[in-house]
Chain A
Amino acid sequence: MTKELLKGNVAFAEAAVRNGLQAYFGYPITPQSEALEHFSGRMIELDRVFLQAESEVAAINMVYGAASSGVRVMTSTSGPGLALMAEGLSYIAGSEIPVVVVNMMRGGPGLGNIQPSQADYNFMTKSAGHGNFHPLVLAPANIQEIIDMVGLAFELAEKYRTLVMIAGDGSIGQMMEAAELPPMQEISTARPAWAVTGAVGRAPNLITSLYLGAEKLEKVNIRLQQKLATIEENEIRWQEYETEDAELLLVAYGTVGRICISVLRAARQQGLKVGLLRPQTLWPFPTARINELAAQMQGVLVAEMSAGQMLVDVEHAVAGKTPVRFYGRMGGVIPMSAEILEAVKQVQEEVS
């Protein structure tokens, strides 16, 4: 295979098609509309299901239905659309069915704007809907990574029968980079044993999130929490850059994560011993590793396109071992590496 110059939205859509996606339901919203455009051509061409629903509420419930029948299905959206999906996301989590949702974050709150943002961090990792659950949240920083994470998302969703989200942002959706797509995978006609496929010659399966009776629902919750604990044990992913001798740790994900690679290079050139930890899963979070690294650091700087959402998870991970500071931009503003470098220097001055 050779590399192609691909736009993020087209890249993840084509990656999903090649990973054997059987059905896509969605509603267009900037900055991810190119994905719908791509699916609308490719899925029809391949005789698969593409449906532009009347709203995100409808789209997520179509996804819920299709996933219940055991086919590979996904949707994609941006913040305002994700908010409309929240009810369905919770039903999907409660029903323990595999679903993949891509969220290309944009500036909020409200209708906000269509520029890049990371302000849906708490929404995705902590409260994607009512009740006790976490989606597994993957955070790509470049086009190759979002392609690879689509395959991983399906794998994890099906392995754990869980909701997996890909947390992109407008920048990842709109930018082009050279990347390699996976080979075309055959569509699997086999349906999992739990799926509702018409109970011919077997006892019926039931997909539900309704459990009347407190003790019954508590048991379901306990089982769900055990599953989430297993995910926490096995699926934490992150990448480190020059942390070995670092005295100051940057923590950033997605677009800001890659910007911090430039920050790190500039800081190192100026003799500052800076390292970077870039979470690739936002839930589960690399808490233990950050705690371990904190011991060698004079300080930690968290950078985000938000008011400081991941910051709280980093503070929790550092647990007071070293000072934690924050640099953030909001409302669709992408922080420049020079700004973050200034923040690094301020932390350096403060702690030394």
Chain B
Amino acid sequence: MKHEETIFSGFGGQGALFAGQLLAYTGMAENLYVTWIPSYGPEMRGGTAHCTVIVSAEEIGAPIVQRPSAAVVLNLPSMEKYEPLIKSGGYLVVNESLIDIKSEREDIHVLYLPASDIATELGNPKMANMVLLGAFVTATGLVSLETIAAQLTAHLSGRQQQWLEPNKQALQRGAELVSA
């Protein structure tokens, strides 16, 4: 049964919350149950931001979890915080452009991607979140890349529409890196 509890975490502005929302929209579009819940508080620019997204074939009880089945980490503090918490057999997706440590866990799948570098190459380092998301869904098979791209088209705000195609490419590049 499909059931993934994923934490997306990074500095404010890296798009951890948006990547999580996009996964939630995509899960909903694929007729799965979804919850998205942000960390919220007296946040400041440059602080960390994370959200928990649950995508499941069954109705979701708790919207937050102590031990997620996956974590997508955009920066070092997020790696340090969530790497130890991932359930055995789970996934850790690492932005290795900004995280220079490796996981020592052997009971989880760890994917390292130079996400910020790829995003910069595509025109905007802010698209690192999409590189990681593309890799994550491809590795887990949680939802399809096509549905994500369609949801991206629907939910990228007006002033961001100019970045639609590069974002789709970022998703694709992430996917290719894990399927290669």
Q: A residues engaging B (CB < 8 A)?
A: 3, 5, 30-31, 113-115, 170-171, 174-178, 255, 258-265, 334, 336-339
Contacts and interface: CB of A to CB of B under 8 A. Distances in A.
A116 to B, nearest CB: 10
A175 B62 contact: no
Interface in B93-145: none
A98 B62 CA distance: 34
A325 to B, nearest CB: 20
A212 B53 CA distance: 57
A334 B40 CA distance: 13
Interface stretch (B28-36, B73-81, B172-180): B28-36
B65 A336 contact: yes
Contacts of A178: 28, 33-34
B177 to A, nearest CB: 28
A174 B40 contact: yes
Most central of B41, B61, B64 by chain A CB within 10 Å: B61
Contacts of B65: 336-337
A255 B64 CA distance: 10
B162 interface: no
Contacts of A255: 63
Nearest to B40: A174
Given A265-B61, A336-B62, A171 B37 contact: yes
A206 to B, nearest CB: 45
A258 B21 contact: no
Contacts of B66: 336-339
B28 A113 contact: no
A283 B66 CA distance: 32
Nearest to B52: A175
Given A176-B21, A262-B61, A334-B64, A114 B35 contact: no
A275 to B, nearest CB: 14
Given A114-B41, A175-B36, A261 B24 contact: no
Given A114-B40, A115-B41, A176 B35 contact: yes
B37 A176 contact: yes
Nearest to B67: A338
A262 B60 CA distance: 8
A86 B80 CA distance: 45
Contacts of B67: 338
B11 interface: no
Contact of B64 (A114, A263, A336): A336
Contacts, number: 69
A259 B62 contact: yes
A260 B37 contact: no
30 contacts: A5-B21, A5-B28, A31-B40, A114-B40, A114-B41, A114-B42, A115-B40, A170-B40, A171-B37, A174-B38, A175-B35, A175-B36, A176-B21, A176-B24, A176-B36, A176-B37, A177-B35, A177-B36, A178-B28, A178-B34, A258-B61, A258-B63, A260-B61, A261-B61, A262-B62, A263-B61, A265-B61, A337-B61, A337-B62, A339-B66
Contacts of A339: 66
Contacts of A336: 62, 64-66
A120 B106 CA distance: 45
Most central of B35, B63, B65 by chain A CB within 10 Å: B63
B8 interface: no
Contacts of B91: none
B25 A5 contact: yes
Contacts of A337: 61-62, 65-66
Given A114-B42, A336-B65, A3 B28 contact: yes
Contacts of A31: 40
Contacts of B62: 258-259, 261-263, 336-337
A259 B62 CA distance: 4
A171 B24 CA distance: 17
A23 B159 CA distance: 32
Nearest to B65: A336
A5 B36 contact: yes
Given A175-B35, A175-B37, 17 more contacts: A5-B25, A5-B36, A30-B40, A31-B40, A114-B40, A114-B41, A171-B63, A174-B38, A176-B21, A176-B34, A177-B60, A178-B28, A178-B33, A258-B61, A258-B62, A263-B62, A337-B65
A327 to B, nearest CB: 14
A6 B5 CA distance: 19
Most central of A176, A255, A339 by chain B CB within 10 Å: A176
Interface in B1-49: 21, 24-25, 28, 33-38, 40-42
A259 B42 contact: no
A135 B24 CA distance: 36
A151 B37 CA distance: 24
Most central of B24, B42, B64, B66 by chain A CB within 10 Å: B64
